[in-house]
Amino acid sequence: MTATLTFGPSATSPGRGTFTALAARELRRFVLNPVFLSAAAFIVFTQSLGPGGETEIDGLSPYPAIFLGGFGMMATYWLTRSMRASEPVVGVTPVTRPVRTAALCTVALVPFACGCLTLLRFVQLTPVGGPIYGPFSSSAQVAILVGQIVMPALGGPLLGVALGRWVRFPGAAFVLFLLIYGWVSLVTILTMWHQNSALVAVLRLFAPFAFFSLHSDAGGVTAWRGSPWFFIGWQLALCAIAILVALLRGAEGRVRSRIIRALGIAGVAAVILLVLAGLGGFTHALTA
């Protein structure tokens, strides 16, 4: 879809070589960004230590989402807002803003790859099927980890690009990070009080990150309502929406119309997947 929107005959195509040069330059800028480097270093450090004495999966899984996703969002936001460093490449061949935006979106592949490696290391340290995961099946446990570790690492940076295209306030990414963190905390507390409510389950999953279990002081694990697989679908829909919203900035004519239509489709798909995620899975299950 991105290729059609950005490289169609209605756009001023810079050619594959120019797009590759743009994407390569943005990737170099991203991997050298101190915010991303510090986030990646923290994840490497925590994964090298292992689980230690941690007996709750929810005490381990949020860190990659916070640092690769949240800090990655802040890094791509600042990358998008700082245009001067890429002017030498942009000036070689005229390019449209959607093409430049598409090149910026490619940097999300770096934290996504880091998220995949983190997931592999996480499973090595905390094998799937252990009691720490609760009463979920092995496939559901994998889906939960993908949704908590890999998908935020992809979606966060894409959200940063979209935010950078539309918002000028320098601290917007940090404010959004705090809002998302606050929302996840709020709906998690709400779920503790209303564990069987479908509405509360949808509210809990109305976020790029969500918990699926609660560990009690007695050692039991309560599985919360929700389908981890549909939640991944919801996260993918959010990624698509973030890309399309970013591409919409500066798009004109037929390209803009196509992006708006695609946004409508992605929005409908996101709503359906969110509802299915909230209605599926466990209603209430406890394992000691």
Residue 177 banded pLDDT, cuts 50, 70, 90: very high
Q: Tell me the two tokens of residue 272.
A: 């359906």
d(CA 252, CA 11): 8
pLDDT of 90 > 90? The answer is no
pTM of structure: 0.86
d(CA 202, CA 206): 6
Range of the domain at 167: 2-287
Helix axes 151-166, 228-248, angle to 10 degrees: 20
Provide the CA 273 distance to its chain's centre, in angstroms. 16
Using one digit for the tens of pLDDT, what is the confidence trace for 108-118?
999 999 999 99
Average pLDDT over residues 40-66: 78
Query: What is the percent of the chain with per-residue pLDDT over 70, rounded to a whole number?
Result: 84
Q: How many domains does the chain have?
A: 1
- Please name the residues in contact with 59: beta carbons below 8 A apart, sequence gap of 6 or more: none
